[in-house]
Amino acid sequence: ANGSPEAFVRLHAEALESEYVSANLPDWIDLIFGMKQRGRAAVDACNVFYYLTYEGAVDMEKLPVDLSQAIVEQIAYFGQTPIQLMKKAHPQREARQNPSLVNLADHQLAAVFDSMESASGHDPIIWIVATPESLFAVGRSRNFAVHKFLPLPDLYGNPFTFEADVRVVSGEATSQGKRSRGRRVGGAHFAPGFSEIALGGLFRESRDGRVIFSAGHWDCSVRCTLTSSPGRARQILRGHQDVVTCLDVAEGESLLVTGSRDCIVLVWRINQFIDYDREKSRGIEIVHAIPSLILHGHVTAVICVSVNAEVGCVASCDESGRMLLHSVRDGRMLQIIDLNCTGGIERFALTNAARILAFSRNGREIVSATVHNVIAAKTTAEVDVTSFCVSRDSSLLITGDSQGEVTVYSVWDLTLLKRHRACPGTAITSVALDAQSESVALVGRRDGKILAVTLDPASLRTQAIKNLQLSKTTTPAREGL
């Protein structure tokens, strides 16, 4: 690690989370806690210890005092074998990738689909997200589309299976003003003053994919909308005194976090496992109407929030570039983070690996830092970064830029792993990974089209690990700070 605690942690994390460890960890579990701890299987595995180390080898209550004291000393000398928890072999971990899905092992696949149109022409896609069965897209005019997408070849020989939402793509749907308005998320207009990259932080989906949470509305509300009827808000949350500028949902947890120009961050509890249509008549809402936490500390408008339940933190940033870290459990302020970004921070994300990935307002500077306020790496993109997403295992950062390029970085040290000229001359306004294998990058473009490009996440992760192993010094970004 060359004296770097960050490099020490990341190298061990990559090793412990590698496929090799995942494949061999069940054998270790069998030896310590499982079927190879005792009996013939233990003998065959050369895993036999002194008999007094095993649980239940002697009944101390039935032994004389002098003898029991001697046995206690022997047990203290030899140690104790853990309790045997399993009598059968521990199952193997499921493979990271589904081999039946598209993989970029030998070739590059790409396809462009019509996605969003409006009465005034093509509608830039400001937010896109993939679920196991659908592909959600929101245009700048708040038009909402639910496409069908699978990273598998279709019957016509195309590399992907895509079925467009005709309600927003066909000319018939967009020429009827009333029908088009019925597909606009939330039912309330955006407040002015949002940049294109900031618009992507105004939408999030629920864990079950049935609800869209939207912010940025002129009436300072947060709106909860069913994907089956996006034109009318199912619930309206009012807790902020100014326009809500950003929101985020914790994966795997029922938490909604919102930030506003009133300098406040609110944490809301989401009701889980309810039938939204049936429970409406009983007064059960999607989100609890009263926030569970109110987070203070900002002195200017909050522009971005990110919550991660695994890390247990809510990160928020204001216009001055001041980033705060709060506990998601009790709201305590944990850390003040200064990333020293040129011109301040435009967007950022808090990953499962407790990493903060931030993008400066000049659109080109990218910073990777720890939650302990240590900058691990910095890099400068050649053109303005307009959108980004992070893989589920927090190892890969995928960005889209104003020149139509998709770039893949290693989260640890921001080394460039791959660059694909997806749509030269057409700006990318949103980017996401497919929900199943993360082997396809779904790119929303300014002309209202969606581009699907295959990636090879396995080889990209391997390349990132090799870069870490070959690194002989700490990153230049850290040395210069």
For the chain, what percent of residues have pLDDT higher than 90?
32
| Residue predicted with more confidence, 352 or 466 | 352
What is the average pLDDT score of the chain? 82
Contact in structure between 433 and 389 (CB atoms under 8 Å): yes
Q: What is the mean pLDDT of residues 92-113?
A: 49
Beta pairing, strands 161-163 & 375-380: unpaired
Q: What is the mean pLDDT of residues 62-81?
A: 80
In 437-480, which residue ranges form alpha helices assigned H by DSSP? Answer: 457-470, 476-479
Q: Which of 140-144, 148-152, 357-361, 368-372 has the lowest mean pLDDT?
A: 148-152
Instruction: Give the span between the Cα atoms of 208 and 227, in whole angstroms.
Output: 11
Whether the per-residue pLDDT at 341 is higher than 90: the answer is: no
User: Which amino acid does the sequence have at 28?
Assistant: W
Q: What is the mean pLDDT of residues 91-117?
A: 51
Q: What is the mean pLDDT of residues 117-125?
A: 62
Please name the residue that has the structure tokens 């000398």: 77
Q: Could you tell me the two tokens for 162?
A: 């895509």
The predicted pLDDT at position 36 comes to 92
Closest CA to 364 of 410, 401, 339, 337: 401
Q: What is the mean pLDDT of residues 246-257?
A: 88
Per-residue pLDDT reduced to its tens digit, 197-238: 888 899 999 888 889 999 999 999 999 998 888 888 889 999
Instruction: Give the span between the Cα atoms of 402 and 63, in whole angstroms.
Output: 80
Q: What is the mean pLDDT of residues 268-287?
A: 71
Q: Strand ranges (DSSP E) for 16-175?
A: 110-114, 117-118, 121-122, 125-130, 135-139, 144-150, 161-163
| Interacting residues of 222 by C-beta distance below 8 A, sequence separation 6+ | 213, 214, 215, 236, 237, 239, 240, 244, 247, 256, 258, 268
Per-residue pLDDT reduced to its tens digit, 11-69: 787 788 777 888 889 999 999 999 998 889 999 999 988 887 888 777 777 778 778 78
User: Which amino acid does the sequence have at 79?
Assistant: G
| Interacting residues of 248 by C-beta distance below 8 A, sequence separation 6+ | 201, 204, 256, 257, 305, 306, 307
Instruction: Give the span between the Cα atoms of 332 and 320, in whole angstroms.
Output: 21
The predicted pLDDT at position 474 comes to 43
The predicted pLDDT at position 324 comes to 95
Please name the residue that has the structure tokens 């300072």: 220
The predicted pLDDT at position 475 comes to 43
Residues 53-92 as b or e (16 or more Cβ within 10 Å = b): ebeeeeeeeeeeeeeeeeeeeebeeeeebeebeeeeebee
pTM, full prediction: 0.78
The predicted pLDDT at position 249 comes to 94
Q: Which of 87-101, 126-140, 190-204 has the lowest mean pLDDT?
A: 87-101
User: Residue 181 in 3-state DSSP?
Assistant: helix
Where is 300: in which H helix or E strand?
Answer: none
For the chain, what percent of residues have pLDDT higher than 70?
85
Whether the per-residue pLDDT at 173 is higher than 70: the answer is: no
In 214-352, which residue ranges form alpha helices assigned H by DSSP? Answer: 276-279
Q: Categorize the per-residue pLDDT at 99 as very low, low, confident or very high, splitting at 50, 70 and 90.
A: very low
Where is 437: in which H helix or E strand?
Answer: none
Per-residue pLDDT reduced to its tens digit, 398-451: 999 999 999 999 998 899 999 988 888 889 999 999 888 888 889 998 888 888
User: Residue 452 in 3-state DSSP?
Assistant: strand
Q: What is the mean pLDDT of residues 104-127?
A: 57
Q: What is the mean pLDDT of residues 114-137?
A: 74
| Residue predicted with more confidence, 107 or 311 | 311
Instruction: Give the span between the Cα atoms of 425 and 127, in whole angstroms.
Output: 20
Q: Strand ranges (DSSP E) for 3-124?
A: 110-114, 117-118, 121-122
| Residue predicted with more confidence, 85 or 109 | 85
The predicted pLDDT at position 215 comes to 94
Closest CA to 367 of 392, 382, 347: 347
User: Which amino acid does the sequence have at 37?
Assistant: Q
Contact in structure between 367 and 412 (CB atoms under 8 Å): no
